[in-house]
Structure 1
Amino acid sequence: MSADVMFSAILDHLALHGATPGPGETDRRPLPQPDEVELTIATLFGTTIGLLTSSQLEDHLEEVLWSLTSICHRRLTHIQKLLDDTNSRSGKVWPSRTAPRSPQSSSNASR
């Protein structure tokens, strides 16, 4: 493979995926703003409700919404752990966070 082809492939990859840090490198990209996250998550749920309401899948709407909730909570817990690990390696002390409640525990509490 020629150097031009390899260079072109690298540029295509950067254009498609952006420059992301490698393992052990600090990720200097900004985190999304909380209000943007809230709006996007609300849009996701609203779109899902609109899509499934009055369709053959409406009977499964609650299960789908709980699945989305569970996915978001699992990712949030994972990201918080990564941030906590990074901060502990750097010597920063951050206030402890409480883990989000699982959908199963909150749905069982309401029954």
Structure 2
Amino acid sequence: MRTLSCHILDTSKGTPAAGIAISLYHATTPTPLDQQFTDSDGRVRFEELELSQGQYTLVFDTNIYCKQQFGEVFFPEVRVTFCVTDDRHYHIPLLLSPYSYSTYRGS
């Protein structure tokens, strides 16, 4: 089953990043398939969607969070494009700090 979840951690504080909007796009459509906000644990589960094979983009709207938590914004948005190629669950964590971010395929 090709499902998707995300998790954002504020690595400058070692805490989850709550309240960040995440939009999911398929490569063939200009409108989002879904948009949700991270919960108090910094998580989003796109439970209503089952992904087909293909290319997707997650857009993390980090602008407001960065202003509130870091006092300034260096990365107002983070885009992560990934390919769905198998039937496993997809988990895309984002590790965020004032001047850097990283991501990877989680489990």
TM-score range, shorter chain: under 0.3
How does the TM-score come out when normalised to structure 2? 0.21
Between structures 1 and 2, the one with greater helix share = 1
Between structures 1 and 2, the one with greater strand share = 2
Instruction: Give the greater-gyration-radius structure (CA).
Output: 1
How does the TM-score come out when normalised to structure 1? 0.21
